[in-house]
């Protein structure tokens, strides 16, 4: 028992952690010369930003005599220096300097410390996670084209939620909950298309606004299991860049960066801010359910539930850990 009730199995022990690009920090959270130990994917790793600005990630233990590279280490130039005997490593995990030895064995120079692929896009640092360390299979998505000028970053949010990451992104395909949980007055009419590692959905929903009911369009492009961009086009034009990152099979770190178009009048800025508040309100409506639900691998679904099974069919590809795993193509209309 905990203080809210018995802790029942929730099905997550049986669910693997998917492979993919996952956000591990915002760019602003890692200054040049800074080192951090991060805990995601039921493991840990060390990231640092070199003095030139590039971010690198490696396994935590020094291959020499095993010091933890996130504790009392430092950045020298673009390299990470181990605190124990001052070996230096580059972003590929190769040794670049050993202060007390003249010749570094070529094998150590090439690479002796497993490195993680890193990519920094639109203010977010991503690493590629694959339990067998297969190479990245797709590229991190960028913000959509801004219709005028550049997107303005208005808000960032993040939450740690007691749920497997697959369940958070399933929420968008769960059409019936929009009415029950979020008060959307009519079940949204949507379309979902899966194209390789990318899933696109368009949902047209009636929304209550201060000016009465209006039709809004929501375009979601999910690239892999860890990243999605949602464009809300109604009285405002907002992009919600979302990343979900598994801490382990039971906990997920959810991040949002919310952007709007430039040059908005005060009136439209107010509407935009209200729209963003509403999105945050919606996730806060989902979270209590997410924190305590369980995963049913054979849910009782009826007409109107949305393309949940098509979503799961694609998602299963992220658990195919063979190096040559290929995506499928699935289309579902509702
Ligand atoms: S343990 Fe890292 S340099 Fe020796
Ligand atoms: Fe929701």
Atom number, ligand 1, closest to the C-alpha of residue 69 = 2
Percentage helix, strand, coil, to 5, in the chain? Answer: 20, 35, 45
What are the structure tokens assigned to 285, written together? 């409506």
Q: Is the CB of 85 under 6 A from ligand 1?
A: yes
Mean pLDDT, residues 147-159: 95
pLDDT tens-digit map of 232-263: 888 788 999 999 999 999 999 999 999 999 99
Ligand 1 lined by 141 (C-beta under 6 Å): no
Q: What's the predicted TM-score (pTM) here?
A: 0.93
Per-residue pLDDT at 330 exceeds 70: no
CA distance 301 to 280: 28
pLDDT the model gives residue 217: 83
CB of 65 closer than 6 angstroms to any ligand 1 atom: yes
Phi, psi of 229 (to 5 degrees): -120, 125
Tell me what the mean pLDDT of segment 33-40 comes to: 98
CA of 240 to the centre of ligand 2 (A): 14
**Residue 265, strand partner residues:** none
pLDDT of residue 201: 87
Which has the closest alpha carbon to 275: 289, 263, 259? 259
Name the strand (E) or helix (H) holding 182: helix 175-182
Whether 267 has a pLDDT exceeding 60, the answer reads yes
Tell me if 244 sits within 8 A of 223, measured CB to CB. no
pLDDT interval class at 175 (50, 70, 90): confident
CATH 3.90.380.10 fits 152-319, yes or no: yes
**Mean pLDDT within 25-49:** 98
CATH architecture of 20-129: 3-layer Sandwich (2.102)
The ranges assigned to domains in the chain are 20-129, 152-319
Which of 326, 320, 318, 310 is CA-nearest to residue 194? 310
Q: What is the pLDDT of residue 327?
A: 74
What is the arithmetic mean of pLDDT over 159-169? Answer: 97
- Residue among 87, 99, 100, 112 to mutate when testing ligand 1 (max atoms within 8 A of CB): 87
> pLDDT at position 328, please?
58
C-alpha 51/C-alpha 30 separation (Å) is: 11
Q: 112: Cβ below 6 Å to ligand 1?
A: no
- Measuring CA to CA, how many Å separate 5 from each of 2, 111, 162, 225, 292? 5, 50, 15, 31, 10
Mean of per-residue pLDDT scores for the chain: 92
What is the distance in A from the centroid of ligand 2 to the CA of 290?
A: 9
* Residue with CA nearest ligand 1 atom 3: 85
What is the position in ligand 1's atom list of the atom closest to the CA of 86? 3
Q: Which residue has the higher pLDDT, 319 or 218?
A: 319
Q: 84: CA distance to ligand 1 center in Å?
A: 5
CB 289 within 8 A of CB 182: no
At residue 185, the pLDDT reads 67
Look at 38-47, 90-99, 263-272 and tell me which has the smallest mean pLDDT: 263-272
- Residue 183 confidence (pLDDT) above 50: yes
Ligand 1 centroid – CA 82 distance (Å): 6
Say yes or no: CB of residue 238 within 6 Å of ligand 1: no
Question: 268's torsion region: left (phi>0), alpha (psi -120 to 50) or beta?
Answer: alpha
Each residue's pLDDT tens digit, 273-286: 998 999 999 999 99
* Predicted pLDDT of residue 236: 84
In this prediction, residue 212 has a pLDDT band, given cuts at 50, 70 and 90, of confident
Tokens standing for 263?
A: 């040059």
* Residue nearest (by alpha carbon) to ligand 1 atom 1: 65
Nearest ligand for residue 61 CA: 1
CA-nearest of 120, 125, 122 to 151 is: 122
The whole-number pLDDT of residue 27 equals 98
Atom of ligand 1 nearest to the CA of 66: 1
Cβ of 84 below 6 Å from ligand 1: yes
Backbone angles phi, psi at 92, to 5 degrees: -90, 0
Could you give phi then psi for residue 46, rounded to 5 degrees?
Answer: -115, 130
Mean pLDDT in residue range 74-84: 98
Kindly state the tokens that stand for 208: 């209550």
Residues 91/82, Cβ–Cβ less than 8 Å: no
**Is the CB of 46 inside a 6 Å radius of any atom of ligand 1?**
no
pLDDT at residue 2 is higher than 90 = no
Paired tokens of 189: 């009419």
**pLDDT score for 1:** 44
In the reported structure, the alpha carbon of residue 68 is separated from the centroid of ligand 1 by a whole-number distance in angstroms of: 9
Whether the pLDDT of residue 6 is over 90: the answer is: no
> What are the tens digits of pLDDT across the range 42-57?
999 999 999 999 999 9
Q: Given this model, what pLDDT does residue 53 score?
A: 98
Residue-level pLDDT at 235: 78
User: What is the mean predicted confidence (pLDDT) over 87-111?
Assistant: 97
Cβ–Cβ under 8 Å, residues 148 and 261:
yes
Give the helix/strand (H/E) hosting 48.
strand 43-49
């Amino acid at each position: 028992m905990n203080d809210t009730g018995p802790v029942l199995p929730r099905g997550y022990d049986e669910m693997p952690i998917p492979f993919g690009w996952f956000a591990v920090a915002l760019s602003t959270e890692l200054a040049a010369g800074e080192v951090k130990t991060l805990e995601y994917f039921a493991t840990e790793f060390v990231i640092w930003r070199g003095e030139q600005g590039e971010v690198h990630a490696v396994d935590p233990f020094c291959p020499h005599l095993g010091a933890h590279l996130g504790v009392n280490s430092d950045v020298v130039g673009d390299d990470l220096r181990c605190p124990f005997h001052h070996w230096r490593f580059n972003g590929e995990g190769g040794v670049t300097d050993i202060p007390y030895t003249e010749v570094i064995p070529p094998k150590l120079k090439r690479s002796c410390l497993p490195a993680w692929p890193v990519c920094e896009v639109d203010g977010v640092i991503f690493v590629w996670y694959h339990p067998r360390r297969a190479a990245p299979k797709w590229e991190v998505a960028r913000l959509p084209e801004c219709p005028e000028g550049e997107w303005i970053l208005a808000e960032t949010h993040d939450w740690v939620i007691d749920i497997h990451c697959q369940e958070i992104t399933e929420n968008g395909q769960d059409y019936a909950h929009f009415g029950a949980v979020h008060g959307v007055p009519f079940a949204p009419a949507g379309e979902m298309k899966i194209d390789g590692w990318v899933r696109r959905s368009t949902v047209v929903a009636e929304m209550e606004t201060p000016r009465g009911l209006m039709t809004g369009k929501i375009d979601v492009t999910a690239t892999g299991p860890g990243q999605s961009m949602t464009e809300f086009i109604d009285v405002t034009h907002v992009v919600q860049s979302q990343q979900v990152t598994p801490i382990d099979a039971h906990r997920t770190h959810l991040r949002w960066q919310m952007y709007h178009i430039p040059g908005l009048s005060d009136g439209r800025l107010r509407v935009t801010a209200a729209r963003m508040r509403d999105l945050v309100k919606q996730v806060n409506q989902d979270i209590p359910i997410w924190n305590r639900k369980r995963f049913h691998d054979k849910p009782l679904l009826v007409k109107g539930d949305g393309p949940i099974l098509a979503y799961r069919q694609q998602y299963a590809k992220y658990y195919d850990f063979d190096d040559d795993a290929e995506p499928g193509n699935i289309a579902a209309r509702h």
